[in-house]
Amino acid sequence: MTPARGSTRRDPADDNSAVRRRLGIDIGGSAIKAGIVDLDAGSAVVERLEIPTPQPATPPAIAERIGEIARRLRADGPIGITFPAVIRHGIVGSAANVDESWIGTDGDALFEAATGQPVFLMNDADAAGIAEMRFGAGRDRAGTVIMVTFGTGIGSAIFIDGRLVPNTELGHLEIRGRDAEDRAAAIVKTRLRLGWVRWARLADEYLRTVERLFSPDRFIIGGGISHEADKFLPLLTVRAEVVPAAMGNDAGIVGAAVAAEERLG
């Protein structure tokens, strides 16, 4: 297992035991990212790992990789894990962008058996949203804040006065007869070779649909495309404030670790 490029090679056992830390793992379609998170600072305190997601990404194959990560980072205590699906009480309830064999799987039990530690499994966009609300672009924000992640699909996380409404899955809203993520996900821009103006028009249509339903005070835009926010944010016409995410690629890791500590710590 190879540490991610640019990671710091440190032994978890060498870290100051006074630091509150938990392992966070972010399962994606192409990669699994993990790191031990400083729960007070919202950052990884030891090496950050990134490994390819096995294909096909079946429950046994993913569980094997998660077990390897937990052993490599010497996990001791609750582990937070994100997954790109609806998660209710640890049970995977959808499979829009993952292997259908996941539907009905008890993810908590699967990963607890693989790691030997208590596990809190949650939706990936919800985890990223928690990180942004605690440490990033939503910190100290009251009212309704909606995080939207544009990537292979569209993820969403809604917070009302800082409290998460889980599993909103707003990427599956219907827009002109199709799933919103089929119209406005970042991958659509790549696949159709759209310029910023054309893609921003699609993203704006989606955000205006969400705005009509929820009247948020702020949108936080996440996903890799947020690093080029200056190219499309000025083109949006929604009334709500729109800001780029601040936590970068570690958002899922951080949010998962925070949630695990709060639920199981």
What tens digit of pLDDT does each residue of 147-190 get? 999 998 999 999 999 999 999 999 999 999 999 999 999 999 99
Query: Who wins on pLDDT, 78 or 15?
Result: 78
**What is the domain extent for residue 75?**
12-126+250-264
Q: Number of folded domains in the chain? A: 2
What is the per-residue pLDDT across 187-211, written as a single tens digit (0 to 9) for each? 999 999 999 999 999 999 999 999 9
Give the residue ranges of DSSP H helices in the chain: 59-72, 107-115, 124-135, 180-184, 186-191, 196-214, 229-232, 251-264
Task: Give a yes or no: residue 134 inside a domain.
Answer: no
C-alpha 122, offset from chain centre? 9
Same domain, yes or no: 73 and 161: no
Q: Stretch 247-253: mean pLDDT, rounded?
A: 93
What pLDDT score was predicted for residue 3? Answer: 47
Residue 48, domain member (yes or no): yes
Does 256 share its domain with 241?
Answer: no
Is residue 201 exposed (0-12), middle (13-18) or buried (19+ Cβ within 10 Å)? middle
Residue 131 lies in a domain: no
Residues 107 and 188 in one domain: no
For the chain, give the percent of residues with pLDDT over 90.
Answer: 85
Residue 48 has pLDDT above 90, yes or no: no
Contact (Cβ atoms closer than 8 angstroms) between residue 260 and residue 79: yes
